[in-house]
Amino acid sequence: MKQNNKKAFSIIEILVWMFIFSLWILSVYAVIMSSMNLNEYNKNYIIASNLAREQLELVRNIRDSNYVKIQKYNQINPSEAYDPTDPPGLFLEGSHYVIENNYSSTASFPIEVTSIWDISDKTQYELCLDSLNRYVHDCNLWNKETRFYSYISISAVIDDDGVVIDKAFKVTSKVSWYKRWYHEFEVVSIIADWKRL
């Protein structure tokens, strides 16, 4: 009688091999998904940091334009005549604003500032992409919605002794976004009347 010397895999060996292979596939998938989520977070973080810094630069541009045109540092629109009986024409402490570039060719000033009356209403400071892929706060039918929200807050500058510093205000630029959970990027700067300090 002739013996068969051929070796073959048993069912148990095949099942063990399939289990090990599936664990390897799952671990590779987990690493790829983790990497993709990290890339998405980093992309959103960079966008948020740039948007927050842009808002601060716009406030600085307003201050510098005010010096050139009207010799006042905290007026919202230097192209308009300031009325002392109308304080909303100034950046007010405790207020929140939407600030962005005004791309309209008919604008009197290239920066637009709008007061936020209800900070809990996120539609007032939601960001959308316009047809030229610029982030704008005008979320109409033609602009694409994003997950980003941005605004600035104005507060008083207080020194170590608790004294409010006149001729300066603190600007907090906030950008938040929602991707699986809430994220926020915040930059704080002091805008001062540096010509008169």
Instruction: Please provide the DSSP assignment of 75-88 as one string.
Output: BS-TTSPP-TT-GG
**Mean pLDDT, rounded, for 42-64:** 95
Within-domain flag for 1: no
The single-letter DSSP state of residue 90 is B
pLDDT band at 23 (very low <50, low <70, confident <90, very high): very high
Residue 127 lies in domain? 11-192
Please check whether residue 32 lies inside any domain of the structure. Answer: yes
When divided into structural domains, the chain yields a total of 1
Q: Is residue 4 part of a domain?
A: no
Asked if residue 3 is part of any domain, the answer here is no
Domain membership of residue 2 (yes or no) is no
What is d(CA 171, CA 73) in angstroms, rounded to the nearest whole number? 14
What's the pTM?
A: 0.80
Q: Is residue 190 over pLDDT 70?
A: yes
- Measured CA to CA in angstroms, residue 55 lies from 45, 100, 130, 171, 190 at distances of 15, 7, 18, 9, 13
Please check whether residue 6 lies inside any domain of the structure. Answer: no
Alpha carbon distance 160, 157 (integer Å):
10
Average pLDDT of the residues in 178-188: 92
Q: Determine whether 94 is exposed, middle or buried from the number of CB atoms within 10 Å of its CB (0-12, 13-18, 19+).
A: exposed
pLDDT grade, residue 1 (50/70/90)?
low
